[in-house]
Amino acid sequence: MSNTILVINAGSSSIKLQLFAQIGEGGLERRLKGQIEGIGVNPHLIAKDATGAVIKEASWPGPDVPAAPEALAKVVEFLKEHLGGRLPNAVGHRVVHGGIAFAAPTVVTHEVVTKLETFVSLAPLHQPNNLAPIKAFLERLPHITQVACFDTAFHRGHPELADRYAIPESLYREGVRRYGFHGLSYEYIAGRLKIVAPHLANGKVVVAHLGSGASMCALANGRSIDSSMGFTALDGLPMGTRPGQLDAGIVLYLLQQKGMTASQIERFLYNDCGLKGLSGLSNDVRVLLGSDDRRARLALDYFVHRIALMSGLLGAALEGIDGFVFTAGVGENAPTIRSAVVKRLGWLGAELDEEANLRGADVISSQASRIEVRVIATDEELMIAKHTMECLAAMNTRATELQQ
């Protein structure tokens, strides 16, 4: 039977999972997708096969699945049943922050987890949830190989100028630098461009990963050379609940004039700002698009405005733009947002094909456009599976060499 790889993307109250099977030399086939959500409240598992057919659905009382370890136990129980008593050969995890210590996918050990826990304060919405299932597997199924795949890794080849802040050298050396995030998504897009648009793959491309978390990346010859996000996932574009670019003096104002504590400011910046803060209504673009409230329009206009500004900044880093790619939940599914952004890029020669945009075509720029504008669905889970498979292969090669 072929090797199987479980991919886990864990949130605060849900665990998304996908199962891949290795086929041939280095190929991967997605066998199922699922998630267990409502952890601790109303736990519910649903899993679908490659055709989208439901193959498992179950619910439990909240106290039976209070946290990630118990949720993973339910997932493992289901996978054993699905795989005829077997377990996956390896588990790949999305981990948002790798800091300066991790520039590539890494096989998990207790020492690795200890180091990754030091980055919790840099990604408080994500890092603790990413690490929870890793620690549960280490405790309950330590014989299964786990691989941590980092959202920061793809950006680690940035020029020093792109990574620096105008702060003393000592802080830079201890890791206070611009990391960039959503790297697994950008890595997938860079690879996908080689297939669907080889004429762009080696050119200058701006990619907009627009979802509840949003960022942008400048790709040159398929490599990240700059990104909108920085030291933490707060920087750059406004997001569902995060403010994006913010004058550091505002944080001082909240401390000194408003009397807020550091923990209160952290909660405020990660949970009460962005589209939610601007609109006073919702952090969901779909809700804001459907609202007639003036504040909803303000939030969306601001979102588009900042995307347009960041496009110019990244275009300057690239010294020109050959292509522009929309991806992630909003980028892939909100033609109104795409239309507004492309119109703001008219000064760069971008021109929209309105009909293609409305039907969600792969290419939404007109034939007269000087910039090719595309919509590409991202697949971070596939990237995690690929990296996990490569780590497994490397481990097997080393084991064989030691035996010889």
CA pseudo-torsion sign 22, 28, 32, 33: positive
Q: Is residue 273 a part of any domain in this protein?
A: yes
* pLDDT for 383: 96
Does 151 participate in catalysis according to the annotation?
yes
Q: Is residue 169 a part of any domain in this protein?
A: no
Say if residue 117 is in the same domain as residue 225: no
Question: How would you list the strands of the sheet with 14-23, edge to edge?
Answer: 54-59, 44-49, 27-37, 14-23, 4-10, 90-95, 145-150, 106-107
Interatomic CA distance for residues 239 and 303, integer angstroms? 8
* Paired tokens of 322: 């050959």
Task: Provide the CATH number for the domain around residue 264.
Answer: 3.30.420.40
Helix axis angle, 248-256 relative to 262-271, nearest 10°? 130
* pLDDT for 27: 87
* pLDDT for 1: 53
**CA nearest neighbour of 214 among 273, 267, 266:** 273
For residue 174, count CB atoms less than 10 angstroms from its CB and return exposed for 0-12, middle for 13-18, buried for 19 or more: exposed
List the chain pLDDT tens, one digit each, 404 residues: 578 999 999 887 789 999 999 887 778 999 999 999 999 889 999 999 989 999 999 999 989 999 888 988 899 899 989 888 889 999 999 999 999 999 999 999 999 999 999 999 898 989 999 999 999 999 999 999 999 999 999 999 999 999 999 999 999 999 999 999 999 999 999 999 999 999 999 999 999 999 999 999 999 999 999 999 999 999 999 999 999 999 999 999 999 999 999 999 999 999 999 999 999 999 999 999 999 999 999 999 999 999 999 999 999 999 999 999 999 999 999 999 999 999 999 999 999 999 999 999 999 999 999 999 999 999 999 999 999 999 988 887 776 767 76
Helix axis angle, 110-117 relative to 127-140, nearest 10°? 160
Say if residue 146 is in the same domain as residue 208: no
Interatomic CA distance for residues 243 and 278, integer angstroms? 9
Interatomic CA distance for residues 149 and 258, integer angstroms? 39
* pLDDT for 404: 64
> Contact at 8 Å (CB) between 181 and 122?
no
Backbone angles phi, psi at 400, to 5 degrees: -65, -45
Amino acid at 208: A
93-104: buried (b, 16+ CB within 10 Å) or exposed (e) per residue? bbbbbbbeebee
Last residue of a domain, one of 150, 182, 216: 150
Catalytic residue among 49, 64, 151, 272: 151
SS3 letters for 205-240?
A: EEEEEECCCEEEEEEECCEEEEECCCCCCCCCCCCC
Say if residue 20 is in the same domain as residue 131: yes
Q: Is residue 162 a part of any domain in this protein?
A: no
Say if residue 238 is in the same domain as residue 319: yes
Backbone angles phi, psi at 394, to 5 degrees: -65, -40
Tally the domains of the chain. Answer: 2
Say if residue 216 is in the same domain as residue 353: yes
Q: Is residue 225 a part of any domain in this protein?
A: yes
> Contact at 8 Å (CB) between 229 and 265?
no
Q: Is residue 174 a part of any domain in this protein?
A: no
What is the span of the domain harbouring residue 124? Answer: 4-150
Amino acid at 92: G
Using alpha carbons, list the distances in angstroms from residue 82 to 4, 56, 88: 12, 9, 11
* pLDDT for 14: 86
Say if residue 134 is in the same domain as residue 53: yes
Q: Is residue 398 a part of any domain in this protein?
A: no
Q: Is residue 346 a part of any domain in this protein?
A: yes
Nearby residues of 133 by Cβ (< 8 Å), 6 or more positions away = 8, 10, 15, 68, 72, 93
* pLDDT for 401: 66
Can you list the alpha helix ranges (DSSP code H) found in 141-216?
160-163, 169-173, 183-196, 198-201
Say if residue 140 is in the same domain as residue 216: no
Say if residue 252 is in the same domain as residue 138: no
Model pTM score: 0.94
> Contact at 8 Å (CB) between 258 and 242?
no
**CA nearest neighbour of 364 among 342, 382, 349, 384:** 342
Q: Is residue 163 a part of any domain in this protein?
A: no
The distance of Cα 397 from the centroid of its chain, to the nearest Å, equals 30
